[in-house]
Amino acid sequence: MAEVLSKGVLLAFLSVALGLSAMAKAEGVGDFVQPSSKAASVENCVEPTEYMRRNHFELIRHQRDETVYGGIRGAKHSLSGCVSCHVGYDSQGTPLEIDAEGQFCSSCHDYAAVEMNCFDCHATVPKGEAWNHEVAAVHAHPTGAAPLAATSAER
């Protein structure tokens, strides 16, 4: 937790610095949204962009505990939401790993030299997310009535 905390603090400092420099250089820096991603086509992130630049980690971390301890999934601030919206695609429509060089997460994190270890464990492309997201609603069953057909697994 403290590691995360200290990283958060570090990140906050850096993002302030980044924000300032972004202001200086006007629009150029900080616009790392991939043109091929869903995010490119929407007006805003889940919160105002400036706010997200500085505070995304706080939001993600807060949601992380909600999910792990409280079982609240697929919420507005969940990391899997970030990935599914911000992941870029190649010309064949295959998703590109979000932490790959030049992609959304790493282009900024590399620029700010902030280490990121979410993706030690988390998926870098939307993958088998059926149970986290919109799709899940389709599979939802009323309490107690377990479905007979195998709802499991990757399709």
Of 107 and 129, CB closest to another protein = 129
Decide if residue 29 touches another protein (CB under 8 A).
no
What span, in angstroms and rounded, lies between the C-alpha atoms of 152 and 155?
A: 8
CB atoms within 10 A of CB 148: 6
Site for another protein in 5-24 (CB under 8 A): 6
Decide if residue 152 touches another protein (CB under 8 A).
yes
What are the two backbone dihedrals, phi and then psi, of residue 97, each rounded to the nearest 5 degrees?
Answer: -60, 130
Looking at 11, 83, 96, 105, which residue binds another protein (CB under 8 A)? 83
Q: CB of 119: closest distance to another protein in angstroms?
A: 8
Decide if residue 103 touches another protein (CB under 8 A).
no
- Cα 9–Cα 25–Cα 103 angle in degrees, nearest 5: 65
Decide if residue 129 touches another protein (CB under 8 A).
yes
Choices 17-25, 29-37, 105-113, 128-136; region in contact with another protein by CB under 8 A: 128-136
What span, in angstroms and rounded, lies between the C-alpha atoms of 135 and 151?
A: 12
How many angstroms separate the Cα of 55 from the Cα of each of 1, 8, 58, 148? 17, 9, 5, 44
What span, in angstroms and rounded, lies between the C-alpha atoms of 5 and 3?
A: 5
Q: CB of 87: closest distance to another protein in angstroms?
A: 11
Q: Please report, as ranges, the residues that interact with another protein according to CB under 8 A.
A: 1-4, 6, 63-78, 80, 83-84, 120-123, 126-132, 136-137, 139-141, 143-154
